[in-house]
Structure 1
């Protein structure tokens, strides 16, 4: 094989469809565009969402809902998870960096501690927010909380 005798695979290359070249070509007359109408004319461009004059979907459906731009999104972490993390790593203080290192949160996520599970050891917990029940549970176990 050399560069001068390379050919594409059979059937992989098709000839360009030449339209509007007279009746003998089989594609003269309407040039494969059908008869009349906007789609047959030059300069036709369909607008996004146009449904041929029918009321478009985005105008038929009502607007609803509300997106609060001041909403603060927290990643919820339970005290049971904190207890297992502290037991596994031997920690007395659990910080946001410890949670990141353990894969609980990503770099920019805010953390809220919730009261699901049980806590058996005195842990100093650092987070952005705490539920009341979680705060009571941590302090009942002899730990402390710190809001960051």
Structure 2
């Protein structure tokens, strides 16, 4: 993935994060019983124990898998950083091992109608300026 594509994805995530944080300020300052209940249920469902693994092991597992689902917390920037780092290291490992299977990434941020523009941009047929216009980036 080109550095400009990564820049666009990072900008999308920053915009989403800011929008989300702005949207919940009202609720955070005036918490309702329903929101407090939701927050408690969410916290209670998180794992209590974590097992630390070496990052190299995770990268090897990603490279060996047919499909990897990576969920993130949209409002936690480190979550996106971890995804990009995993993607970058998986790609680098594949190149070092002459691994021919390409890595394909599907993102939830785009609408299905944006796919032709994404394809054109990633293949180099569409400059970034036109890509952003065609997906209506500044109005999303």
Classify the TM-score, shorter chain: under 0.3
Larger strand fraction of residues: 1
Query: Larger Cα Rg: Structure 1 or Structure 2?
Result: 1
More relative contact order in 1 or in 2 (CA 8 Å, sep 6+)? Answer: 2
Larger helix fraction of residues: 2
TM-score, normalising length: structure 2: 0.22
